[in-house]
């Protein structure tokens, strides 16, 4: 009985420790260049280990509909992940969204109007 309680407490402490260091992206900066039809996003996510804690997935949306999912296996550096994507069908007044997902926990979505 004592062994089960001990293992349970160790498990709870371990999960709490992992979640304490997990966090969603802190910000996303989005730009769209109509001349090149290129969306560029910088997803800010400060981490200490880019292989274990990183931006794992980014969903790109156009006018509320997901048009592209991009997956990563590590973050390019300790501060942010960038991506560029050509989206030729964007018209003035359209809304572009970028949603970044942390590999451990949390997500953040930002949107711009073209």
Residues of the chain with pLDDT under 50: 10-20
Tokens of 39: 């969306």
- The full set of domain ranges for the chain reads 24-113
Regarding the domain delimited by 24-113, which CATH topology (the fold level of the hierarchy) does it fall under? Answer: Immunoglobulin-like (2.60.40)
What percentage of the chain carries pLDDT values higher than 90?
77
**pLDDT given for residue 7 in this prediction:** 54
Decide: residue 4, CB within 10 A, 0-12 exposed, 13-18 middle, 19+ buried: exposed
pLDDT at 23: 80
Contact yes or no for 97/113 (Cβ under 8 A): no
| pLDDT for the residue 6 | 58
């Amino acid at each position: 009985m004592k062994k089960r309680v001990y293992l349970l407490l160790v498990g709870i402490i371990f999960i709490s420790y992992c979640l304490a260091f997990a966090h969603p992206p802190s910000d996303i900066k989005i730009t769209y260049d109509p001349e090149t039809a290129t969306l560029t996003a910088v997803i800010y996510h400060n981490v200490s280990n880019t292989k274990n804690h990183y931006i794992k997935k980014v969903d790109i949306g156009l006018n509320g509909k997901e048009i592209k999912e991009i997956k990563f296996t590590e973050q390019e550096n300790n501060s942010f992940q960038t991506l560029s994507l050509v989206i030729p069908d964007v018209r003035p007044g359209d809304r572009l969204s970028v949603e970044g997902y942390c590999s451990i926990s949390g997500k953040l979505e930002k949107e711009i109007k073209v």
